[in-house]
Amino acid sequence: MYYVYIIQNPQGRRYIGLTDNLERRLQDHNTGISKWTRVRGPWEIVWSKSCADLTEARKLENLLKRQKGGRGLARLTGLDP
């Protein structure tokens, strides 16, 4: 099982990612293992969706990333733009 997720920091910055272990990946973001997110945390998961296989998860991740955080992302996830 794979998960596509969105994490958000207190300043409202969001990061969209893909993992097979949500708890471990969030810990990676918050402890500095992930370069881009290490100085921008703390992070919390604000949205996630499970996918049956890696191909499906990658397609969803790419679709969400193409939305650039606008109305499309809100429509797909229910999060405020």
Tens-of-pLDDT digits for all 81 residues of the chain?
Answer: 999 999 999 999 999 999 999 999 999 999 988 888 888 889 999 999 999 999 999 999 999 999 987 899 999 999 987
Residue pair 18/61 in contact (Cβ under 8 Å)? The answer is yes
Domain containing residue 65: CATH number: 3.40.1440.10
Q: What is the pLDDT of residue 35?
A: 85
Q: Does the model's pTM come out above 0.85? A: yes
- Structural domain that includes position 63: 2-71
Q: Is residue 81 part of a domain?
A: no
Q: What distance in Å separates the CA atoms of residue 20 and residue 55, rounded to the nearest whole number?
A: 13
The domain total for the chain is: 1
Position 56 in a domain: yes
Q: Measured between alpha carbons, how far is 22 from 67 in angstroms, rounded to an integer? A: 22
Q: Would 77 be classed as within a structural domain?
A: no
